[in-house]
Amino acid sequence: MAGRLLSIIDDDEDVRQSLLALIESVGYSARLFASAEEFLASDAWTETCCILSDVQMAGMSGIELADRLAQSGSRIPIILITAYAKDNQSFALSRPGVVAVLPKPLQLNALIEQIGRALDSGAAG
């Protein structure tokens, strides 16, 4: 798992820190971003193997981020996190790059399983 950088994008600092702790507890490294715009303005998107993003954020949503990355030719797999998974799941999964939609509160096993699937899918890079 070493060398696999995940990017965590959420406008809630507590959520970002909680996700970071979960990710690091199983050996991944991650960078944190308060918005999709901040992520896109950074160099992280060129190094990221998987994105964990909230669906609903101030500014650009996780779904809009997926669309923007797809338009740029990116193949980074995206796992969306939402409090409204049942309402948005089909639409979100139809977006390019979105490989999973996980409900809040997150279950560690489900998160780790989906990260592993995303990385194994060959979509990254």
What's 92-124 look like in SS3?
HHCCCCEEEEEECCCCHHHHHHHHHHHHHCCCC
Domain ranges of the chain: 5-120
Class of domain 5-120: alpha beta
For residue 102, give the nearest of 86, 122, 117 by alpha carbon.
86
Interval 67-91 mean pLDDT: 81
Question: In the chain, how long is the greatest CA-to-CA distance?
Answer: 35
Q: How confident is the model at residue 84 (pLDDT cuts 50, 70, 90)?
A: confident
> What pLDDT is stored for residue 76 in this prediction?
92
Interval 65-77 mean pLDDT: 91
Q: What is the DSSP letter of 58?
A: S
Interval 24-51 mean pLDDT: 92
Residue 88, pLDDT > 80, answer no
63 in Cβ contact with 95 (< 8 Å): yes
